[in-house]
Amino acid sequence: MPAIETALDAVLFDFDGIVVESVDIKTEAFRILFADEPDHLDAIIALHRRHAGLNRLIKFEMIHSDILRRPLAPERKAHLAARFQELVLERVVACSMVPGANELITRLAGRKPLAIVSGTPQAELEEIVQRRGIGRYFDSVCGGPRRKPDIVAGLLAARAWRPQRVLMLGDALEDLAAARTHALLFVGRLLPGDANPFPSGTPVVNDLHGVEDALVAILAAAGTTA
């Protein structure tokens, strides 16, 4: 992949919806967790989707403060977190990869530093990556509770990557915000038929087969070449 190898210092991958097809698994977990709030369930799912990529603990707080209008007790928060992991862990370990993800990751591994930047809790993310057998491809596997802009800041500082030569791949506004905060290149994933959450002009692909072509277009628009 000459464009990626020549033009980039590193590639950052969101996890859900970028590496693995786990977005619907997480949405279903929210439906189950809050099934006892039928009058608010549509609003809860809308919040979850609107803040895709955000750590689930932050979402629990937002659901209670913005929708349910009642405090979230620490023990309730801990219960929600444990139950959520119980609902999703095995399914995320077993779900399919995003089309093109395996090819992109395996072709770049060892040629360019690769990192996962996810809202999934750190220990859970590490277990999933290890059990799926893909940990060896990534130089860093970074999860919550840190927000993605903070994770990216830490990676840039530790690795001395040049922001304008780092590509972030994500499917949510949280990913775009992390990229823009640090002036990274960004390509979003948008499934056919889904509403586009990204601002007009944001490069998007249907799956990871299109990443290199999207990068070439970004470089051409900026007046640079791979």
Q: Taking the model in full, what pTM does it have?
A: 0.92
> Do 42 and 9 have their domain in common?
no
Regarding whether 84 and 124 lie in a shared domain, the answer is no
Categorize the per-residue pLDDT at 19 as very low, low, confident or very high, splitting at 50, 70 and 90: very high
Examine residue 15 and state whether it is found in any structural domain, yes or no: yes
**Residue 156 located in a structural domain:** yes
Would 208 be classed as within a structural domain? yes
pLDDT of residue 173: 94
The token pair that represents 202 in the structure block: 């944001």
**Are both 185 and 172 inside the same structural domain?**
yes
The alpha carbon of 86 is separated from its chain's Cα centroid by a whole number of angstroms, namely 20
Residues 15 and 33 in one domain: no
Of 141 and 160, more confident: 141
Q: Angle formed by the axes of helices 74-94 and 122-132, to 10°?
A: 10
Question: Region 92-105: what's the mean pLDDT?
Answer: 97
Q: Note down the domain range covering 103.
A: 2-21+97-221
> Is residue 225 over pLDDT 70?
no
| pLDDT surpasses 70 at 117 | yes
> What's the order of all strands across the beta sheet hosting 166-170?
140-144, 114-121, 10-13, 166-170, 185-189, 204-205
> What's the pLDDT band for 4 if we cut at 50, 70, 90?
confident
> Stretch 36-57: mean pLDDT, rounded?
95
Q: List Cβ<8 Å contacts ≥24 apart for 198-202.
A: 198/173, 202/176
CA distance 222 to 126: 36
Q: How far apart are CA 73 and CA 28, in angstroms?
A: 23
Domain end point (choices 62, 94, 126)? 94
Above 60 in pLDDT, residue 213? yes
Mark whether 131 and 208 lie in a shared domain.
Answer: yes
Residue 149 has pLDDT above 90, yes or no: yes
Do 9 and 112 meet the contact criterion of CB atoms below 8 Å apart? Answer: yes
Residue among 118, 167, 116 nearest 145 (CA): 118
Find residue 114's DSSP bridge partners: 11
| Residue 179 within a domain | yes
217 & 111 share domain? yes
- Tell me what the pLDDT averaged over the chain comes to: 94
Domain boundary among 38, 65, 94: 94
Q: Is residue 161 part of a domain?
A: yes
Instruction: Say whether both 87 and 121 belong to one domain.
Output: no
Q: How far is CA 50 from the centre of its chain?
A: 13
Chosen domain end from 67, 94, 121: 94
Percent above pLDDT 90 for the chain: 88
Residues 77, 105, single domain; the answer is no
Whether residue 169 sits in one domain with residue 68: no
Label residue 1 by pLDDT band (50, 70, 90).
low
Q: Are residues 123 and 180 in the same domain?
A: yes
Residue 37 domain-assigned (yes or no): yes
**What is the tally of structural domains in the chain?**
2
What CATH code is carried by the domain that includes residue 164? Answer: 3.40.50.1000
Q: Does 226 reside within a domain? A: no
Task: Clarify whether residues 111 and 56 are in a common domain.
Answer: no
